[in-house]
Amino acid sequence: MSGRLLLVNGPNLNLLGTREPGIYGSATLADIERITADAAAEAGYVVRAIQSNHEGVLIDAIHAAREDCAGVVINPGGLTHTSVSLRDALTGVALPFAEVHISDVHAREEFRRFSYLEDVATVRVIGQGAQGYAEAVGRLIALIP
């Protein structure tokens, strides 16, 4: 397997930096992609990043990752709480993956506390802001054979 990771950011994460900065901070999606790429580069990995507001686009990218990626870092956004299809894509490609959430979802609304990915994720990083992506990369890479 190559030294590549797929970074997946789900619906509304394109609005980072302007969307509810009291919850999500001031980092933009471009900042998140840079943080992730820098953390991966330290371990000799490169990152292919995708963000979409469309579930099928994310699923297609995850399917394609099995051809050339060693793992996936994903912030599924609102799909965390609703998407069996996203879960099936991640388990179907059998790549280790890290689930990341910028905010502490356990301290927010009740519906945000459930994740379809939590019991199948290799790594979970919650509530560490934008730097949580770097934490997820480091922890995930440490577990990749």
Helix axes 29-42, 132-143, angle to 10 degrees: 30
User: 144 lies in a domain?
Assistant: no
In the set 54, 63, 101, 106, the catalytic residue is: 101
E strand or H helix at 142: helix 132-143
Residue-range definition of the domain harbouring residue 38:
4-70+83-95
Q: Is position 101 annotated as part of the catalytic site?
A: yes
Specify the higher pLDDT residue, 135 or 145.
Answer: 135
CATH number for the domain harbouring residue 88? 3.40.50.9100
DSSP characters over 27-78: --HHHHHHHHHHHHHHTT-EEEEEE-S-HHHHHHHHHHHTTT-SEEEEE-GG
User: 90 lies in a domain?
Assistant: yes
User: 31 lies in a domain?
Assistant: yes
pLDDT tens digits for range 31-90: 999 999 999 999 999 999 999 999 999 999 999 999 999 999 999 999 999 999 999 999
User: 89 lies in a domain?
Assistant: yes
Q: How confident is the model at residue 1 (pLDDT cuts 50, 70, 90)?
A: very low
User: 130 lies in a domain?
Assistant: no
List the binding residues. 75, 81, 88, 102-103, 112
The pLDDT score that the predictor gives to residue 105 is 86
Q: What is the share, in percent, of the chain residues with pLDDT greater than 70?
A: 99
Q: Which of 30-34, 72-76, 102-106, 139-143 has the lowest mean pLDDT?
A: 102-106
- Mean pLDDT for the chain? 95
pLDDT tens digits for range 119-130: 999 999 999 999
User: 100 lies in a domain?
Assistant: no
User: 115 lies in a domain?
Assistant: no
Q: Is position 24 annotated as part of the catalytic site?
A: yes
The pLDDT score that the predictor gives to residue 112 is 78
Number of domains, the chain? 1
List the binding residues for substrate. 75, 81, 88, 102-103, 112
The pLDDT score that the predictor gives to residue 55 is 98
User: 76 lies in a domain?
Assistant: no
